[in-house]
Amino acid sequence: MFDQRSLTVAGLIAAAQEAEHFEIAMYGTLRTWVARLGKNDAMEALEVTLDEEKAADALLTNIAVTLTSAPPTRTDAGLPKSGRASNVTEPPTPLLERTSPA
Degrees to nearest 5, angle at CA 50 with 95 and 85:
65
- H helices present in the chain, as ranges: 4-36, 40-68
Domain count along the chain = 1
**Does the pLDDT of residue 95 top 50, yes or no?**
no
| Helix/strand/coil for 100 | coil
Above 70 in pLDDT, residue 90?
A: no
Does residue 52 lie within any of the structural domains? yes
Domain range for 48: 21-67
Task: Return the pLDDT at 65.
Answer: 85
Residues 61-89, mean pLDDT to the nearest whole number = 61
Share of the chain above pLDDT 90, in %: 50
CA distance 56 to 93: 12
* pTM of the complete model: 0.62
Per-residue pLDDT at 21: 95
Per the domain annotation, does 50 fall within a domain? yes
The amino acid present at 62, given as its one-letter code, is N
Whole-number pLDDT of residue 72: 55
